[in-house]
Amino acid sequence: MTNKRKYGERTLEVHAGEERADPVTGARATPIYYTSSYAFESAEKAKKLYALEEEGHIYTRISNPTTEVLEKRVAAIENGVGALAQSTGMSAILLAILNITNAGDEIVASNNLYGGTYTLFKNTMVNWGIKVNFVDTHDLDAYREAINDKTKAIYCESVGNPQLDIPDFEAIAEIAHENGIPLIVDNTSAITMVRPIDYGADIVVHSATKFLSGTGTSMGGIIVDGGNFDWTNGKFPQFTEPDESYHGLIYSEAFGNKAYIMKARAHLMKDLGTVMSPMNAFMILQSTESLSLRVNQHCENALEIAKFLKNHEAVSWVNYPGLEDNENHEMAEKYLNGNYGCIVGFGIKGGIEEGKKFIESVELLSHVANIADAKTLVIHPATTTHSNMSSEEQLESGITPDFIRMSVGIENVEDLIADIDQALKKAVN
Ligand SMILES: *Cc1c(COP(=O)(O)O)cnc(C)c1O
């Protein structure tokens, strides 16, 4: 199944990327090809594979048949032309940027990002000469003004974690394209709710550790190439000038609309070794089969819990895009297809002490840093995920001391509500 969106979403989640049976053994499930290398049919074939003149496997740091099924499946889910699996979401983000930047280049990013991404952009990439200019997620003029001759991409998240800001993708993609640069969207928090490529995004990245794995077990990341961006517009010599490590190969000429994802694989992943283990690819493949069923249940539960919290006397505010008075509700209605995500933010009356007490009093909910696990999770961002920001940076990103982030799972919602209620009553009295 390779056709772009010939089938509905759940059909793609179950079938895309795989053959109906393993050609050698007849195994119906995708086998785990746990091998580092592959025997070459002939010396001539080996030479062609090494020169990227023929498709095939050489070494698992470049490609693997199990991982390839996952890559094709996620490419189909996101409506892309190709994908590249990575060891983690962070390496997916890193490669997505490094694939189109060199020292001296710049990126424009929305200021409301996953904490790990913010640190990578703000504190790490700057040491390599790549500067990131942060702008208000909703301020379209700010994106325009932050772009200069050195800017190589705009970067944002489909639903910002943990502030839940939903950018106007279509408008931001237009701004990027007017300036001859791509839009990269981290769609970790909204997979199956929105396909950013359909709204003009050029590259999509995922932490597969979240909804794609769904069980809080396997780490992983994926980059998806929309195949629509013109890398030959003069701003991206990486794609139009010869690559000396492949005897002068020119990616845009050799791979057409798959130039971006082929370069990420054959150049960067080969050099940096950020490959996903075939075992993790197999684990995540199992979870893709129930992806939108699970996501829908997460979202249904989260909406109920947001409404419950809104009426609770121990709660001072609730942030959930599904609530009609939420500042992101309009964007959610435009882009998220009737869903609003699994993350609910709320403020507990009092502050840090009450927050701590709440987290220590829950019995069914788990106190962990992950999101989008089948299990419901809670955390206090100011003292954990965002603790390496200064208090000013925290406040700028909306991380107030009373803020509790909940990632709602797929359990029976009445059980979750009962647990949250008893813990709130213990914490605030
Ligand atoms: C978790 C997360 C990441 C990082 O992914 P890892 O798999 O933990 O490396 C990136 N972006 C978002 C939105 C995330 O939630």
* Confidence (pLDDT) at 2: 47
Mean pLDDT on 26-42: 95
Query: pLDDT for 372-411, tens place per residue?
Result: 999 999 998 888 877 877 888 888 778 898 999 999 999 9
In percent, how much of the chain has pLDDT > 90? 86
**In angstroms, what is the span from residue 140 Cα to ligand 1's centroid?**
25
Mean pLDDT on 307-322: 97
Question: Which residues line the pocket of ligand 1, CB cutoff 6 A?
Answer: 88-90, 114, 116-117, 157, 161, 186, 188-189, 207, 209-210, 219, 221, 371
103 vs 383 pLDDT, higher one: 103
Mutate to test the pocket of ligand 1, among 88, 90, 95, 157 (most ligand atoms within 8 A of CB): 90
Query: pLDDT for 230-243, tens place per residue?
Result: 999 999 999 999 99
- Among 180-184, 308-312, 343-347, 378-382, the range scoring the smallest mean pLDDT is 378-382
**In angstroms, what is the span from residue 374 Cα to ligand 1's centroid?**
16
* Atom number, ligand 1, closest to the C-alpha of residue 189: 13
* Confidence (pLDDT) at 392: 86
* Domains of the chain, residue spans: 9-288, 291-427
* Atom number, ligand 1, closest to the C-alpha of residue 188: 13
Mean pLDDT on 329-353: 95
Residue 197 in contact with residue 78, Cβ under 8 Å?
yes
Assigned CATH class of 9-288 = alpha beta
* Confidence (pLDDT) at 4: 55
> What CATH number has the domain spanning 291-427?
3.90.1150.10
* Confidence (pLDDT) at 5: 65
* Atom number, ligand 1, closest to the C-alpha of residue 209: 7
